[in-house]
Structures are given as structure tokens and as C-alpha cells.
Structure 1
Amino acid sequence: MKKKTGTKSVISTTPEGSSSNVTHDIHSTVFPYFSSWQKSHGKVFVYWLGTEPFLYVADPDFLKKMSGQVLAKCWGKPSVFKRDRDPMFGNGLIMVEGDDWAMAGLMVDSTTKMLDKWATHINSGNPEIDVEREITATAGEVIAKTSFGISYDNGRLVFEKLRSLQMTLFKTNRFVGVPFSKLLCPGKTLEARRIGKEIDQIFLSIVNARKESINQGQLQTDLLGLLLKESQVGGKGRTLSSRELVDECKTFFFGGHETTALAITWTMLLLAEHQDWQNVLREEVREVIGDKEVDATLLGGLKKMGWVMNEVIRLYPSAPNVQRQARGDIQVGDQTIPKGTNMWIDVVAMHHDPALWGDDVNEFKPQRFKDDIHGGCKHKMGYLPFGFGGRMCVGRNLSFMEYKIFLTLILSRFSFKLSPNYSHCPAIMLSLRPTQGLSLILQPL
């Protein structure tokens, strides 16, 4: 299947209650082929990536029936994607979570430092800031410190290299499933391998240094410390190798900062459009937190901020699709999905389906989630911001906390609106991201 070589700016007439001409009807932009094929083949059909057949699913009822027939161990990631993304993730899986509550202080410190930098930039006469890059870099710093004990410099270095690797792997056409596909793009393949090895070396030096400190009796209880301590897997007494530890670190580092950073970024886009919701959240922060220091125990009281987050990840899910591979035959009604079948579950399509959400599906309405954790969706499987089943994202609680800390501190110090230079070009580069960044005009309060 051919991939789209570029992105287009998604512009419409100004919708009611919005201060910009950005439209959030994005499915045909980020997945143009699927959007077109749905019109001809419906919400469940088979397509091919090279020699690999895939079952496309954008029907929550079919998804429910299918997932009801399997246990978590019967799902897996398609091997074709594992090969394609090997330089970035290796064979890593997100295994454990750190101590969420102990991380709050470090999150506040890193976010405050970012906001001080913004204030200096604004005071110098430059109120326009690309907040996407700033937020993503700071989220990378947070995960580097809290999960791996990595220094600021090393954290930034890993972030820059992962971003470069992401652009190399996902910005241009790829030949997923095509035999000998790596030979078709030798330059990109070699570049991805080079960057991947550089990232491996950084994490390998961190793992080796931590092992040495443990041998000297110095214990740390962050994610890397837990991985080293609890590396007995499968009850067979096998210790994770350095290679496996590096893969776990890469996977968690990427997932731990990218998902939350993008949720915050898209939130700032939507709040820049909807100034009324900036004011609503700012007032809630004053009521719940007031003059007290931001800490994890207070964040649960930010209910309306929770509505906003749920609506943002409905419109712009950081994980825009879910891939699975059947580890055994799956029976769905009178149909059999054979063992080994790849599946592509289109989250964006379901999150933007008017049959599930109503005619206002593409409008920003956080109040959908006031009294309903599914936002009024007509089918519970139609809202999948964190995946589903036994392989749902394990970092949800950490993401919620980081999201609320970032947004609380930002709203307490700045108001913001879209820059005239902003171009709305959401696209898939593993995650759903603004390809031209997010330029905002900020004003200190």
C-alpha cells in the first residue's frame, strides 16, 4: 500500500465558538486511504501491506466480539512492524511503572524551568513560541530523571536522537511488508541503524553504570532500578540481558514522554481556540490549588481538567491506531480470523464517527465527559485513547499526573492564542503529531 508523501493543512471556515479556522475533522487527512476505502468496503475489511494481509477494524461492535474471544496472551504485535521499528524499540515492552507520587516534585521543577524560559523569551520581545517542541523536550527530561536517573544533558541528547530517528523512520514513504524493503531505501535504512546504535550506546552506558553502583551497594528505586532488581522473568530464573534492558529503556523513554507531551500540545491548541475553557480551567485551579504548592494529592480535584483531557485525546489520540496479531484462531460470529492474522484498529476513525458520537463529533466539547467516562459514545468500545484489553497502556496514571501538573502551571502563568503562522497539519509519525509544530502567542498573567 502506498503511503502519503506529504501532509496538507486542514483549514475550514470558523466554527461557532472557536477563534480560529482549524477543523478537527482529521480522519481523511491522517488516514486518507482508510477514509476512502471505508466508503467502498465498510468498517471491517482486508487490505495488504506488501505481502502481509491486514484486517482493518473501525467497528466497535465487531471489536468487542473479537476481543471477547481472546485473552491478553492471545494478542501480540505484528512481527512486520517489529522488524520495521527495530532501530527504535528493539524488543522492549513497557514492564513496570515507577512511584508516581514521588515524581511530582521533579515534574514541577522541570515544568517551572520551562516556563521561566518562556517568560524570558517573551520579555525579550518575542511572544511567539513553538510550544510543541518545548513541551516534548521537557517531558523527555522528566522521564529521563524520574525513570532512569539520567542527567539533563544525556536526557536532551536521547530526546534529540529519538526525535531524529522518528523522523527518519516515519516521515517518508515506507515499504512495510514488501520483501527486501530495506534494500529499496538504503540511505534511510543506514541512517536509522546509525541513530539507533547511538541511542543504544547511551542507554548501555547508563545501564552499566547503574549495575556498577548496585554492586557498590547504591540502590535507586526508579524504573531502571526496578528493572535491574526484578529482572527475573517467567519464573525461570533468567536475568534480563543488557540488550533487553536497553530495549526496555528505549521503549519506556519514548512512550513515557511522547504520549503525554502530545496530549498537552493538542490541549494547548484547543484551549488557544477556546479562550472560555482557558478561563474555566484557570478558575478551577484557583479553587482547588489556590496558593498551595502543586502536589499529587490535589490533582484529583481538577475534574474539569480531566474532562478536557478526555476530549483532547478523543479528537487527537496520541496512539491513533492499535495493531494486533492473532496468536490463535479467533471466532467472530460465523467468521474465523486465522492464527497469525494482522489487525489494524483505527482509533481515529472511531473517535470521529458521527454514528457513535453525534453530529457534533468534530467539535471540542469537554462537557461530554462530565457524567460519562465514555463521553456519551454510543458504544463503549468506540472510545479507546489508551488501547484496550490486557495490553492497555500501563502508564495512564503517570500520564494523568504529568498532564495536570504541566497544564496547571502553564495556565497559572500565561494566557495564549494561536499564532497567525500556525499551520494545522496533523499527521502520523508513529504518534499523531503536529508536523509544523504548534506556534502560540503567549502573554504573562
Structure 2
Amino acid sequence: MLGFLLYLFMKLLFSFWIHPIRAYRKLKKNGFGGPTPSFPLGNIREMKNSMKNNIINNNDSSSLSVASSAVSHDIHSTVFPYFARWQKSHGKVFIYWLGTEPFLYIADPEFLKEMSSGVLGKSWGKPNVFKHDREPMFGNGLVMVEGDDWAMASLMVEPATKMLDRWTTLINSGKPEIDVEREITTTAGEIIARTSFGLSYQNGSKVFEKLRAMQITLFNSNRYVGVPFSKLMCPKKNLEAKKLGKEIDQLLLSIIDARKKSWDYESPQKDLLGLLMEGKQVDGRAGKSLTARELVDECKTFFFGGHETTALALTWTLLLLATHPNWQNQLRDEIKEVIGDGEIDFAKLSGLKKMGWVMNEVLRLYSPAPNAQRQAREDIKVDDLVIPNGTNIWIDVVGMHHDPAIWGDDVFEFRPERFKDDHLYGGCKHKMGFLPFGFGGRMCVGRNLTTMEYKVVLTLMLTRFSFSISPSYSHSPSILLSLRPRHGLPLIVQPL
């Protein structure tokens, strides 16, 4: 017993003390600087204090109505105050620590290009520390499936129309102020449930509500990712997350079992769940059949990511259009010219060019996915620097999207026309400076479905209503895994 305890002590000492010290020295020797960490929290304490001060400052200014102060799109120092401060001291590439885990911070598109240009898919992956931390929410889902035929796009219209009819009822009852963020998020959840899994509203809303509860549980609490035995520091939150995870698993398993019982081998249902169950186009390996566990994990990941990105893109779009009514009018004119006054012809959606500019500009200013993460699976050389095997990599998308050095002096302005002549990069001085859907082999495969849903729902909204900022709106973008308005988005909605 004494020998076993000594062995366990030595193993823990090596894992949580000796190994991190060696990694720290190696990174310093390889030329990487950064804020000085302290055992066992790394730089977490400094990050939490920075966020706490930022929230206090925002709350102090929240009493100011939007009518008396312009909405500022310079949000990097709001959502990532510690990164903004560290950039001033250490540049756009440096090392910081979450507990005993080193992270290479990157907000330099040229460094990102050099790093990724010679890297094969097997040379990096998702950080293990985040896989373990977020396992109850996503499992091991990779979201590597994309259907060939999105004819089910017509299923998007009914949930969106139902939402707009509800708005009309509220307005007629004398309640023109509507929290559109909550409304759009719920509707986007119903859309992804129907188009990707063939679920009824009732079953889809159950999954969505539990995923949202888990998101709040995991990402709106004092967490210590990377700290030894961190799960023991917040046992109640971790147990709650695991319980929600099991409930979601059981719900999805019952849905999968029901689909299997009604499976038609001659003409299987061509939604996302059908493609996954057929084993097509999964992780680039044709014909790979998935286990029940893998199916559940893929469904959880796609269900969350599939509705969250579109919902937040639409939410931030309405904020920007509410503060720029001239662009509301431009989009309405384009809709009338391209789509007409009748039902939406999905073949014509690609003709909504200005709407595409607006979407890209929204994704630049308020990217729903504020960062991308990788982990080096082997040593990666970038010029004279070496990123050691095992190093976590944090790519600051918000930082690059708001960098005047690569976007110019108007970087904080809402200017969709910047994408008129350069619809892919918006005149960005570096192609790796605009990453609305990630990059490389792990670029978001749902981007085409997101774009279609965005155009369908926004078209329906703009042809029925006009939008303006409510005096009660407090501009406070925050990170809850995704970038979202901390206090919702109340708008004054008026029928046309």
C-alpha cells in the first residue's frame, strides 16, 4: 500500500508539476513569451479578475439607453479583456496557461497561415482538455456530415412564419417590444430539429431546452479548465451537467430507435440523421457505419451548432439593421426585385447578393464562433519557432476580425459594401484574417445550410416588419461558448 501511494504521488507530481514546468521551459526556449503563470491555476485567476472587472464596468454603464449612446462594435476588449491587454504586452502570438495546460494564442493571420500551410490533418486535432470539459454537451461528435440535397429547405418556412404570426399577435395587443434573440433561438432550434432530424416540435424543443440548460451550466459558472482535479472544485455543476447529458442521450437514443424501426431501405429519409445512419460522408470515410453512441454524439453536436450559429447571426443582423434602417430598405428592395411578392423560390436565394454582404459583415463584427481551437499532435515549425507536440492552440477570431491592421481604419463600422467587390474576404488584407466558418479541413460543414436558413428567415422577417432599437436594450456582447447579447435583444417591431 505504501509503495502504491508513493507511485501515485510521483505520478501526480510528474503530471501536474514536473511536466508543466518542462513544457514552460521548452516553450520559453523555443522563443514564445506570454504572461507568467502560477501553479496550479496558470493564468486563470488573472482572466477571471479581468472578466469580473469588465462585467462590473458594463453593469455601471448599462443604465445608459442606446438612444443616448451609439452602439460600439469595438467588442474585443469587452468579450476578451485579458487577451486585449496581453496583446499590448506580448504581441499577437504568445503562450498563456489554463491550469497546467499551455495554450498558444494566435491573432496574427500570417503566423496562422505559416503554421497551417504545411500541417497535415493528423498533425493536429481538438484540444483534449476541451474534449473532456465539454464531453457532456458534445460527446465525441465531429460534425463531419453534409447532405447533398437540401430540398428540405421548405421546412424552414413554417416555423419562421409561426414566429412572425406570434409577433403580429403581440404587436396587436400593444406589445411592440420583442426580445428577438430568444424568439429566433427557439425558432432556429425547431428548424434544425425538423430539417436535420425529422423531429416534431415537441421532441425537438425537449432536446433544445436541455442543451441550452447544459450550456448555461457548463459555460456560465466559475470553471477551472486545465486545473488538476478541477471537477472536484465545482461538483454540483459537474453532476448537473452529467445528469443533463444522460437525459439528452436517452432522448436521442429513443429518437434513433424509432427511426430504425420505421427505416425504409428502399428510400431512406434524406435528412442528417438518415445520412448518419446510412454511414455516408462521415469524417471523410465513405461507408463507415456508426455505433449508437457515435450517432448520439454527432446528433448532439450538430443539433447545438446547427441552430446556434444561424440564430445568433440573425440576432446580430437585426441589431445592426435596427441601427442602420437604410440597409433594411436596401434589402427589402432587393428581396422584391429577386424574390418578388409571392412565396420564396429557393432557387433564387443565391441572387440576394446584398443580403450575402450583410451576412458576411455581421459574421465579421459579431462572429457567433469567437475562436477556433487546435492541439499540436507533433512538433510544428513556423520559421524559427517550434510549437511542441501537445501544445493547445487558441485562434482569436474576434481579435482578427476587429484588427485595424488588416481591415483598415473603418474596422469597427458596419459597412456591408466592403464585400461587394470581394465577396469572400471583404477587402481584408490577409485571407486568413476572415474566418467566419473556421478554416482548413475542420471548416464548418453546415455553412451552406446556415446561409440558406439565414436568407429564408431574414427574407420573411423583412417583408413583414421593420425594426428599431428599444430604449431598454443594453449593448453587452458576452461569451457563453458562442458570442451572444448578455441581456437579450429587445427591439421595437412594427408591421409594414
TM-score for both structures, normalised by structure 2: 0.86
* Whole-Å separation in 1 of the counterparts to 2:283 and 2:347: 34
Distance, in Å, in 2 between the alignment partners of 1:19 and 1:108 is 37
Match of 2:385 among 315, 335, 347: 335
**Structure 2: how far apart are the matches of 1:193 and 1:420?**
40
Name the residue aligned to 1:297.
347
1:417-432 paired onto structure 2 within 5 Å: 417-432=468-483
Match of 1:442 in 2: 493
Change (3 A) 1:236 1:265: closer
Q: 1:361 aligns with which of 389, 411, 432?
A: 411
Aligned to 2:441: 390
TM superposition outliers: structure 1 runs of 4+ over 6 Å = 10-15, 215-218, 231-238
- Tell me what 2:484 maps to: 433
The equivalent of 1:186 in structure 2 is 235
- The worse-fitting range, judged by mean Cα deviation, of 373-382 and 48-57 is 373-382
SS at match of 2:150: helix
| Residue 123 (1) aligns with residue 193 (2) | no
From the CA coordinates, give the structure whose radius of gyration is larger: 2
| Separation in structure 2 between the aligned mates of residue 93 and residue 404 of structure 1, nearest angstrom | 26
Matched-pair contact (CA < 8 Å) for 2:145–2:283: no
- Post-superposition shift, 1:321? 0.4
CA contact (8 A) 1:100 1:397 kept: no
Q: Deviations over 1:391-422 (max 9, x none)?
A: 11111111110000111010000001111111
Alpha-carbon offset, residue 198 of structure 1: 1.1
Task: Give the 3 Å change call, closer, same or farther, for CA 281–234 of structure 1 in structure 2.
Answer: closer
Residue of 420, 424, 438 corresponding to 1:370: 420
CA offset digits 1:82-130 (Å, max 9, x no partner): 0110110000111212355312211111111110111111111100111
Q: Per-residue deviation at 1:425?
A: 1.3
Counterpart of 2:21 in structure 1 is: none
Unaligned runs of 5+ in 1: none
2:253 is aligned, of 189, 194, 204, to: 204
Q: Which moved more, 1:25-34 or 1:69-78?
A: 69-78
Distance in 2 of aligned mates of 1:73 and 1:255: 24
Residue 332 of structure 1 aligns with an amino acid whose one-letter code is V
Please give the residue correspondences for 1:195-344 in structure 2 after superposition, counting only pairs within 5 Å.
195-214=244-263, 219-230=268-279, 239-344=289-394
Q: Distance in 2 between matches of 1:50 and 1:281?
A: 48
Contact 1:99 1:222 in 2 (8 A): no
Distance 2:385 2:266 in 1: 58
Distance 2:400 2:250 in 1: 40
Give per-residue Cα distances to partners, 1:283-334, cap 9 Å, x unaligned: 1111111123113201111100110000000000011000001122111001
Query: Is the contact made by 1:14 and 1:21 (CA closer than 8 Å) also made in structure 2?
Result: no
Specify the SS of the correspondent of 1:206: helix
- Are positions 1:381 and 2:427 aligned together? no
Give the equivalent residue in structure 2 for 1:399. 450
**Quick one: structure 1 residues 236 and 311, their matched pair in 2 at CA, closer, same or farther if it must change by over 3 Å?**
closer
Letter in 2 for 1:337: I
Figure out how many residues of one structure are paired with residues of the other and give that number.
443
| Distance in 2, Cα, partners of 1:436 & 1:257 | 19
Deviations 1:133-178 (A, max 9, x none): 1111111111101111111001111111111111111112210100
1:33 aligns with 2:82: yes
Q: Could you say what the CA RMSD is over the residues aligned between the two structures, in angstroms?
A: 2.1
Q: What residue number does 2:460 align with?
A: 409
CA distance in structure 2 between the partners assigned to 1:253 and 1:101 by the alignment? 16
Q: Could you say what secondary structure the match of 1:443 adopts?
A: strand
Partner of 1:94: helix, strand, or coil? coil
8 Å CA contact 1:75, 1:325 repeated in 2: yes
Amino acid at match of 2:351: G
**CA displacement 1:164-205 (0-9 Å, x = unmatched):** 111111112210100110100011111111111111111010
8 Å CA contact 1:76, 1:327 repeated in 2 = yes
What amino acid sits opposite 2:459 in the alignment?
T
Q: Deviations over 1:14-60 (max 9, x none)?
A: 99xx9962111100110011011000000000010000001000000
- In structure 2, what is the equivalent of residue 133 of structure 1? 182
Partners of 2:467 and 2:76 in 1: CA distance: 27
8 Å contact kept, 1:356–1:379: yes
1: CA distance between counterparts of 2:305 and 2:89?
Answer: 35
Percent of residue pairs bearing the same amino acid type: 70
Select 2:400's aligned residue among 326, 336, 350. Answer: 350
In structure 2, the CA distance between the partners of 1:292 and 1:318, relative to structure 1 (3 Å rule), is same
Q: Which amino acid aligns with 1:162?
A: L
More moved, 89-98 vs 45-54: 89-98
Mapped partners of 1:198, 1:121: distance in 2: 34
In the alignment, the residues of structure 2 paired with residue 124 and residue 304 of structure 1 have an alpha-carbon distance, to the nearest angstrom, of: 34
How far did residue 352 of structure 1 move?
Answer: 0.5
C-alpha distance 302-329 of structure 1, shift in aligned 2 (>3 A): same
- Name the CA distance, whole Å, in 2 between partners of 1:415 and 1:96: 36
The separation in 2 between residues aligned to 1:165 and 1:78, in whole angstroms, is 20
The one-letter amino acid paired with 2:410 is D
* Greater Cα shift, 20-29 or 30-39: 20-29
Distance of 2:159 and 2:148 partners within structure 1: 17
**Counterparts of 2:119 and 2:107 in 1: how far apart (Å)?**
18
Counterpart of 2:361, as a letter, is E
The match for 2:109 among 37, 60, 77 is 60
CA distance in 1 between counterparts of 2:122 and 2:360 reads 28
Which sits farther off after the overlay, 235-244 or 165-174? 235-244
Instruction: Give runs of aligned pairs for residues 74-93 of structure 1, distance below 5 A.
Output: 74-93=123-142
Question: 1:230: Cα distance to partner?
Answer: 1.4
One-letter amino acid of the structure 2 residue matched with residue 310 of structure 1: N
